[in-house]
Amino acid sequence: MKPPPTMLPAILYIDDEAMLCRVFQRVLDGCGAPIVTFTDPELALAYTREHPVAAIVCDYRMPALSGLELLERLEIEVPFVLISGDIGIAPIVQSNPRVTAVLAKPFQPEALLALLQPYLPASTAR
């Protein structure tokens, strides 16, 4: 995790797959908000206590902590997009009002960008 250059609210991308963190850093780059990625959900939680956050994109199935467990421990209210490679998790999260949207992998990057669009600084959105 590299601290963002400014204290603009960041988009957090959390997934235990390092490769997905790497590529979504690139996908989201230039969307107007700083992108911070985490493979360790604990570090992501720690980040949310210190820094402003615009939105969180979080994997559901992670070894240490599931996306829903992370949400449980999240102390801030923020748009929360749950992404998952598992099948059939939609019913589990539908009843959770804190989940903004669920994206099933594989989804098109455009779909994620569209979901995040409302929460990006309008002036800098590409």
The binding site for other proteins (CB under 8 A) comprises 16-17, 19-20, 22-24, 26-27, 61-64, 83-88, 104-110
Decide whether 7 or 30 has the Cβ nearer to other proteins. Answer: 30
Task: Give min distance, CB of 96 to other proteins, in A.
Answer: 19
67, with CB counted inside 10 A (0-12, 13-18, 19+), is buried
CA distance 81 to 78: 10
DSSP 109: H
- For residue 17, the tally of other CB atoms under 10 A from its CB is 14
Decide whether 46 or 64 has the Cβ nearer to other proteins. Answer: 64
Task: Give min distance, CB of 20 to other proteins, in A.
Answer: 6
Task: Give min distance, CB of 77 to other proteins, in A.
Answer: 27
